[in-house]
Structure 1
Amino acid sequence: MTSLQARHWRSAADALALLRQQAVVTRPQLGRRLGLESGPTSDLVKRVARAGLICERPAPTGGRGRPTTTVHAHPSGPLALVVDLRHGDWRLGTCALDGEVNVLAVESHDGTQPGAVVARIRSRLRSAARRVGDRLIGVGVAVPGPTVEDRFANVTMLGWRDLDLGRLSIPELPLVVANDATMAAVAEARLHTPQPRSLLHLVVEIGIGGALVIDGRPVASARGVHGEFGHLPLGPYDETCPCGARGCWTIPFDPPHIARRTGLRLRPDPRTQLHRLFTDECPSEAARGVRQELATSLGRGTAGLVNALDPDLVTLGGLAFELRAAVPDGFDDAVRSGLMDVHRHPGPRIVEARSGDDAPLVGAGLSVLDRVVDAAMLAEWAAKRATA
């Protein structure tokens, strides 16, 4: 590759990085972010489009000014395969260069046979890889628990220890394994304009998780075991969490714990049961009391994390915003009373997450792309396409 070619493909890599960081990008925005005038921007877009990496669509019209286009992944461009392994099911899909996800398969599991679950995902993953062919550039997996070394997962609420997800790798392609709440935070950060420099994303699902994202990327840690906010000692100290620690924040949010306190029978799909608890317009007295306590706990923990991390924005994902909406005064009072004075005026912006159920899939795909897409990869892709 000549020095000119290398410069061209570095510019292309920078353009594609912007597509991953921002959900909607117009051609003028692309040029401004890259420091290019309109002529060089047009040349760059045409070059990357000829390589089958991006395409353009007419931008929505609004007000005066010349019509423009938005930039998207090419329909025949590179793809990552992504998996979202959840407590009661798993999903498999593809993720394009712009973070667009297409779900290919959804299957349930009862949580009792982790080896069989991984084997089934592996089979469907290999089948999807054959269909995608040489467009495949990596695999990303989001799991509901801490992960180590892009391979081992611990799903504490299901009792899964050191689950080896290396079996999901595709030969000669990278495998990224990460916590689902962290992946959701990556997806969430790109949906806010202007993008907050620091975003604290909190998720309530089967327990509590989250991540701190700086400039669109999760804060790094020594072994990648970070964002385990649910295991802060904010819960009942006389109880031991399945993770091995005492007094974890997540303990009162555990469905069996809630079922015992409300007198409700534990359902096969605990997430749906939690959703009904948080949205029931006529809850029992016991259920109303549990909702109040959980909303207060969520508010206190949110305040503590704001005191510690000082984020620009706090987003509530999964069932967290439903819980806040069920007991708004309880949540808000707990936040205000838990904040240091310096954070109260003005208070933190706490909003509903925008990323939806596909957030872990999107985040897993973006993380693969961050690792793989560089000037050398794009030059190789363009060369293969030119000779095809």
Structure 2
Amino acid sequence: MRQAASTARAATSSAPGNVGDVRKANLARVLSVIAASGNDQRLSRADIAGLSQLTKASVSSLVADLLAAGLVIEIGVHRDGERGRPAVGLILNPARVVMGMEVNVDYIAAGLVDLSGKLLAHEIQPHADHRSAAKEVLAALGELSRRLQDAAAAQGLMILGGGLAVPGLVDDESFTVLQAPNLGWVEQDLDVAALLPEPKTRFRLFNEANASALAQQQLMDAQERDFLFVSGEVGIGGGLIIDAELFVGPQGHAGELGHVVIAPDGKKCSCGGRGCLETIAGQDAILAAANLGAVADGASRQQRISQLYQALETGTEPAVSAVAEAGKSLGIAVASALRLYNVSTVVFGGHFAALEQWLRPAMEASLKAHAPSIAGQARLLCSPLGQTGALVGAARSVVGDLLEAPHQLVG
């Protein structure tokens, strides 16, 4: 995905390979060694020199810059079996954070993630974003962001940058939502300055499913370098990880499982097509099939979802059949995806993870029926991230950018 433009973006050198470039690379090298060690190991400068294969003098100078920028801090370390004055260890500064945010169809969310990728705090707020003007939605998200900014300041935390995830195709260079059918947004420019004024580094815009896939990647085993993340909300999104990198394709459409056609003569989809997976397995589609789609009684979507789970727990029709049909269609889409992308692992998030016990039997049977040669090798997992996946993934990506280019904060 293209990187976002930012007023805080560092200028690139006009002379590649010069001393300044080497120092920038070495700053990132030292910071990556500290980050990889975790806050429990607390490496000394000598440790860092050995691991980075830089001289002790170079490491001392680079560490001084990182300390001055506030990216790392010193902490006393008593090594086992040693007496006397403790050695000085270095860890990522726990008081430096990035804010992740999400706009979805019926809620907005924001959270703070530290430089180790840990979610420190988050808040999810119901908000009817469908067909709402982007300006109105961002105003509400801006208020939520300010509450978290105030809370961060009260705890002595400094916010270095931010990321926003939305359920649609985006151009993160221009902060434009190109198309978000379930929000009703087309070619919608976003005023991200209203969300996080003057970030110290940068602000980035993400597709919601892609951001969730990036968050999920940190939970996968090291050898698990290829997988498809399928996000189930009102819409259905997909994020494709190939060789441990997010793959979005030339126009950013790769992994969009929700708009794979399952029933050519089926219902019309929000994307303008017909018979997409989303029309059968999306949240609203399942509620409608379970006779819980009407809102005449004033029930909110969340209340209707609760009614769906109650019906499933008691084995009540048509809820059971609605979810089984969603699972069957999901199995067809997954069968196609496994063949097309040549991956064997699919991770399900959102309502697919919550509905696993009722959804999985029909999905596995469908996958076996439509792709018997590969069904036995498929790994179908459910994500534990819940509704935090997108905002965490957006924030961690900005953290990753920072760790790769710490010179942005070094004076």
Superposition TM-score, scaled by structure 1 size: 0.77
Contact 1:313 1:349 in 2 (8 A): yes
Q: Which residue of 1 aligns with 2:304?
A: 273
Q: Does 1:184 align with 2:226?
A: no
Aligned amino acid, residue 298 of structure 1:
L
Who is 1:360 aligned against?
390
CA contact (8 A) 1:238 1:246 kept: yes
Of the three residues 109, 118, 122, the one matched with 1:100 is: 118
Q: Unaligned stretches of 5+ in structure 1?
A: 58-69, 384-388
Q: Which moved more, 1:189-198 or 1:249-258?
A: 249-258
| 366, 384, 389: which one aligns with 1:334 | 366
- Report the Cα distance in structure 1 between the residues aligned to 2:40 and 2:52, rounded to whole angstroms: 12
Matched, 1:303 2:322: no
Q: Is the 8 A contact 1:54 1:71 kept in 2?
A: yes
Report the CA distance shift for 1:4/1:333 in structure 2 as closer, same or farther (over 3 A).
closer
CA offsets, 1:242-284, max 9 Å, x none?
A: 1112221101234444344332254554356346525621132
Read off the aligned partner of 1:152 and give its amino acid letter. Answer: T
Residue 88 (structure 1) aligns with: 106
Q: Corresponding residue for 1:61?
A: none
d(CA) in 1 for partners of 2:139, 2:21: 46
Q: Which one of the candidate residues 144, 147, 158 is aligned to 2:183? A: 158
Greater alpha carbon shift after TM alignment, 361-370 vs 121-130: 121-130
Pair 38,259 (structure 1): closer, same or farther in 2 beyond 3 Å: closer
Please say if residues 287 and 304 of structure 2, whose CA atoms lie closer than 8 Å, have aligned partners that are also in contact.
no
- For residue 294 of structure 1, report the CA deviation from its aligned partner: 0.8
Paired with 1:304 and 1:359, the residues of 2 have a C-alpha distance of: 25
What secondary structure, in the 3-state scheme, does the structure 1 residue paired with 2:262 have?
A: coil
Q: Shift of the alpha carbon at 1:219?
A: 0.4
Take 1:145 and 1:6, find their aligned partners in 2: how far apart are those partners? 35
User: Over alpha carbons, which structure has the higher Rg?
Assistant: 2
Q: Is the 8 A contact 1:297 1:334 kept in 2?
A: yes
User: Which of 124, 138, 141 in structure 2 is aligned with 1:118?
Assistant: 138
Give the drift of 1:241: 0.9
Write the letter of the residue equivalent to 2:240.
Answer: L
SS of the equivalent of 1:221 reads coil
CA contact (8 A) 1:155 1:161 kept: yes
CA distance in 2, matches of 1:236, 1:41: 64
The change in CA–CA distance for 1:350 and 1:40 in structure 2 (over 3 A counts) is: farther
Counterpart position of 1:63: none
Residues 271/208 of structure 1: CA separation in 2 closer, same or farther (3 Å cut): farther
Deviations 1:142-176 (A, max 9, x none): 11222234522233223233332234464475331
1:130-151 C-alpha deviation (Å, 9 max, x unpaired): 7659943322101122223452
Tell me the equivalent position of 2:234.
206
Q: Distance in 2 between matches of 1:250 and 1:26?
A: 44
Q: Which residue of 1 aligns with 2:161?
A: 138
Is 2:314 the partner of 1:290?
A: no
SS in 2 for 1:357: helix
What is the rounded CA distance, in whole Å, between the counterparts of 1:296 and 1:56 in structure 2?
55
CA RMSD in angstroms comes to 3.9
Partner secondary structure for residue 300 of structure 1 = helix
Q: Give TM-score scaled by structure 2 length.
A: 0.73
Structure 2 partner of 1:230: 258
2:108–2:126 CA contact under 8 A, matched in 1 = yes
User: Identity across aligned pairs (percent)?
Assistant: 22
Aligned to 2:247: 219
Moved segments of 4+, more than 6 Å = 1-4, 38-46
Q: Deviations over 1:303-358 (max 9, x none)?
A: 211111122522111121333311433221111122262x24x5111112133331
Task: Give the letter aligned to residue 118 of structure 1.
Answer: L
Asked if the contact 2:164–2:394 (Cα under 8 Å) also holds between the matched residues in 1, the reply is yes
Check whether the contact 1:324–1:331 (CA below 8 A) recurs between aligned residues: no
In 1, the alpha carbon distance for the partners of 2:243 and 2:73 equals 26
1:321 aligns with 2:353: yes
**Aligned partner of 1:120: which letter?**
A
How far, CA to CA, are the matches of 1:289 and 1:135 in structure 2?
50
Measured in 1, the distance between the counterparts of 2:303 and 2:127 equals: 15
